[in-house]
Structure 1
């Protein structure tokens, strides 16, 4: 039986911010007929989309496609993201109708999807009736990136002072809690946009301090919050925040680079006035991808889920779930870049 589905197609690669309407629109909603299932595949009804700023680099990046860490999205192809889907047909002995599966980054902005069973992750129930959506956030790519960035790329230790940017976002909010509750770091400082978000980072996530990067006194506030300088900086944003942080790093300090969201929608190169600090202070800068540590994923997730189950990590306000039809998906995703979310941003797809 043939199935048709609405799906968003990449029609133009943006040079700046993606365009949501008009003749130069980045995406176009089309109705497509899905191919018949092959052996080892499943047909899924999408329940949730994962909204991540890093998807911006899937459609246009300064990195050549052959050097990118996952396949990029060619023009004329469906836009990709992580998804949770319910299996409605199966040609695989692994899954049956009604099973819930997740795909980290090879799902598409479609109502129905054909997935390779071997690339799907089955979703087990979470303790304490935690919602399954956490598999796309705290117990998915966001949590894994936060953990591996701190422990492996950043080499963080309990005696360290740690600063985390985008601290109210999906990855940053998990990194703050991991640094405070699991690592037991001496001092954890968040950077977030706005006083309300900074209050949440301190009061709910446990950061010792949080600095508002939108404040005109940001640089002075950062210096005041780091009198002993910084051992580890977990960077999600790049730009002027990274530039300021370079002046606060200790000699031989570590910068773990997870993202550079401040530049994703800009066609201007990132400008860093303080680049020589890296040489002068012998700063170690390491980019990382959580996919590099998938051999450790089961153990990491076990630790994170255990910490959530016993209350050390709080997930109650760590998600923003928006119920919407597929027609609204590009707009919801783009709201990430204006800070509309607190914690992980997910779309609950309704028909």
Structure 2
């Protein structure tokens, strides 16, 4: 990508958090959650700093938890977003100016950075990573998805937290999402699990999980009788045993789905607690009616967060790239959804996460 030939900006537009929502974020009116403002950039650059222009923005469900008014700052994996500060997010940005001599951080380079919902931003080089071209002509947007934090999270969730074996039955909720989709592929194509069943919303998403990601079966939770469908799908790996219990459950949904899955776990089953998107826009928790299943079936539930494995990023990406070359992983435009939008529309695109409107990793391309 070539550096911009336009006059370098001295001001930037930003989306600030101005009201912490108790339910779905509000995009207009007196109680709107976000506000667009223009502010000056901290120029001139100091040593080892970059002036960046946002090109691609990552949309992540976890951002919702950080803006809840009910979050205890001592009980969240990243600090809550303060009022009247820019919404945080990672993204791919073009280097417009640089005071660094390091390769990968020069004018015209593309970097992975914590840009937030800001059109332009000044950051220290230490906060950024080069985003080099990917093999096989893959879009560099995969640095935000399959070859980024979602992929890393899926790999360690399945391999280390879930301790998944090739002889086991795996179920993944949110299977059409960025992390869930990679969890399906890791379980089936890298670990070689005996049976991998996805849970997703709608027939189209279920076809995607089966045909593009390689799940043995995907169950549509929006369909009446989906619990019976799930039991039938998992029983296939048990020689037709109608019990069809599950060894590893990779959970991205939480709430009532997690509660139901506790009743479907095999003895010594493992639950990988990765997310709880069903609860992000609710001020009330979900009572687990099946909690005693944890005791009676000796179930292990273990939470995880991808940032815990930052030091393993290069190793895992090497494994993924080798698997791509061997044709084991589908890392293409099919497993991400890039939405072109003006900067004014950033919150609107982000809200697609909570409407079930996206398939795969949701990325905003700023136009």
TM-score band w.r.t. shorter chain: over 0.9
1:111 and 1:284 map into 2 onto residues whose CA distance is 43
1:338 has 2:359 as partner: no
Aligned residue for 1:279, secondary structure, equals helix
CA deviation vs aligned residue, 1:3-52 (integer Å, no higher than 9, x gap): 11111000011111111100110000011111122222211000000011
Unaligned runs of 5+ in 1: none
Aligned residue for 1:332, secondary structure, equals helix
Using the TM superposition, give the Cα deviation of residue 2 of structure 1 relative to its aligned residue in structure 2, in angstroms.
6.6
Tell me the residue number matched to 1:148.
Answer: 156
Tell me the residue number matched to 2:112.
Answer: 102
* Farther off after superposition, 61-70 or 224-233: 61-70
Aligned partner of 1:19 among 10, 17, 26: 26
Kindly indicate whether the alpha-carbon contact (under 8 Å) linking 1:2 and 1:33 is maintained by their aligned counterparts in 2.
Answer: no
* Farther off after superposition, 221-230 or 284-293: 221-230
Aligned residue for 2:339, secondary structure, equals strand
* Farther off after superposition, 231-240 or 92-101: 92-101
Kindly indicate whether the alpha-carbon contact (under 8 Å) linking 1:56 and 1:264 is maintained by their aligned counterparts in 2.
Answer: yes
1:87 has 2:133 as partner: no
1:2 and 1:197 map into 2 onto residues whose CA distance is 42
Using the TM superposition, give the Cα deviation of residue 238 of structure 1 relative to its aligned residue in structure 2, in angstroms.
0.5
1:122-137 maps to which residues of 2 (within 5 A)?
A: 122-137=130-145
2:354 and 2:325 map into 1 onto residues whose CA distance is 31
Aligned residue for 1:301, secondary structure, equals helix
CA deviation vs aligned residue, 1:73-116 (integer Å, no higher than 9, x gap): 1001001111100110112222211111102xx32111101122
Aligned partner of 1:52 among 60, 66, 72: 60
Using the TM superposition, give the Cα deviation of residue 244 of structure 1 relative to its aligned residue in structure 2, in angstroms.
1.3
2:311 and 2:352 map into 1 onto residues whose CA distance is 33
Tell me the residue number matched to 1:4.
Answer: 11
Tell me the residue number matched to 2:302.
Answer: 286
Q: RMSD of the TM alignment (CA)?
A: 1.3
* Farther off after superposition, 37-46 or 251-260: 37-46
Using the TM superposition, give the Cα deviation of residue 200 of structure 1 relative to its aligned residue in structure 2, in angstroms.
1.3
Structure-1-length-normalised TM-score: 0.96
Aligned residue for 2:256, secondary structure, equals helix
Kindly indicate whether the alpha-carbon contact (under 8 Å) linking 2:255 and 2:285 is maintained by their aligned counterparts in 1.
Answer: no
Aligned partner of 2:336 among 319, 322, 342: 319
Unaligned runs of 5+ in 2: 1-7, 236-243
Aligned partner of 2:248 among 232, 245, 266: 232
1:270 has 2:278 as partner: no
1:40 and 1:61 map into 2 onto residues whose CA distance is 36
CA deviation vs aligned residue, 1:142-164 (integer Å, no higher than 9, x gap): 10111011011111111110000
Using the TM superposition, give the Cα deviation of residue 305 of structure 1 relative to its aligned residue in structure 2, in angstroms.
1.8
Residue correspondences, number: 348
Kindly indicate whether the alpha-carbon contact (under 8 Å) linking 1:213 and 1:241 is maintained by their aligned counterparts in 2.
Answer: no
CA deviation vs aligned residue, 1:187-231 (integer Å, no higher than 9, x gap): 000000011111111112111111111112122112222223111
Distance 1:303 1:186, change over 3 A: same
Kindly indicate whether the alpha-carbon contact (under 8 Å) linking 2:12 and 2:120 is maintained by their aligned counterparts in 1.
Answer: yes
Using the TM superposition, give the Cα deviation of residue 119 of structure 1 relative to its aligned residue in structure 2, in angstroms.
1.6
Aligned residue for 2:86, secondary structure, equals coil
Distance 1:134 1:200, change over 3 A: same
* Farther off after superposition, 274-283 or 59-68: 59-68
Aligned structure 1 segments of 4 or more residues deviating by more than 6 angstroms: none
1:303 has 2:319 as partner: yes
Kindly indicate whether the alpha-carbon contact (under 8 Å) linking 2:195 and 2:234 is maintained by their aligned counterparts in 1.
Answer: no
